[in-house]
């Protein structure tokens, strides 16, 4: 019985980890003891939900890392990690884009144990570097007509919002 339950739980965990963002899997589990009394399996379900959440988060983080690397970000600079973290936060809560300084930068700074001003500066420096030396084709694909020669590179918030938008629209 335990082996059968373990196999079922593994299959269920696999299906949960394969879910895309926004997909829903509804499961109802009822177990009965030998005397036909119902046993709650809520604990196991909450464990599976946390596994699925963690797996989805890892997939998103890998996707962001791939995009940033393809754009030309160097993963040996702090700005890369700050931008990656900021994109993940904005994917979860787009309202952070309307409160950059006291919201987004502060959240990223707290996670990385630094100050919001250092986060802003390192992000800006990384974006400048990619804008000068990065993958022009991919930059044009993502940013298209939102950039101009007169304006130059996008601000940190413009960059993050455009990446998030492109990810949500599956352009990248």
Where are the strands (E) in the chain, listed by range? 31-32, 38-39
* pLDDT in the model for residue 125: 95
Give me the residue label for tokens 């997909």: 23
Give kind and range of the element (H or E) at residue 22.
none
DSSP H helices, 72-101, are 78-92
Which token pair is 40?
A: 């709650």
DSSP letter at 99? S
* pLDDT in the model for residue 50: 67
List per-residue pLDDT tens for the chain, 172 residues long: 567 666 777 787 787 777 777 777 776 666 666 666 655 556 566 666 666 666 777 888 999 999 999 999 998 999 999 999 999 999 999 899 898 888 999 999 999 999 999 999 999 999 999 998 988 888 888 887 666 656 678 889 999 999 999 888 877 7
| Of 76, 86, 72, 89, residue with least CA distance to 136 | 72
| Of 43, 97, 70, 34, residue with least CA distance to 171 | 70
What size, in residues, is the chain? 172
Which token pair is 64?
A: 């962001």
């Amino acid at each position: 019985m335990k082996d059968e339950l373990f196999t079922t739980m593994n299959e269920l965990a696999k299906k949960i980890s394969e879910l895309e963002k926004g997909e829903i899997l509804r499961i109802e589990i009822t177990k009965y003891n030998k005397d036909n009394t119902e046993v709650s399996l809520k604990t196991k379900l909450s464990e599976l939900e946390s596994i699925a959440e963690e797996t989805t988060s890892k997939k998103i983080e890998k996707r962001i890392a791939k995009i940033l690397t393809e754009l030309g970000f160097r993963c040996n600079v702090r700005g890369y990690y700050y931008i990656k973290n900021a994109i993940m936060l904005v994917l979860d809560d787009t309202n952070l884009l309307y409160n950059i300084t006291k919201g987004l930068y502060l959240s990223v700074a707290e996670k990385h144990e630094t100050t919001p001003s250092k986060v802003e500066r390192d992000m800006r420096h990384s974006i400048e570097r990619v804008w000068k030396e990065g993958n022009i084709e991919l930059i044009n694909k993502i940013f298209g007509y939102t950039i101009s020669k007169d304006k130059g590179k996008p601000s940190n918030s413009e960059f993050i919002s455009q990446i998030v938008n492109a990810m949500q629209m599956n352009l990248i």
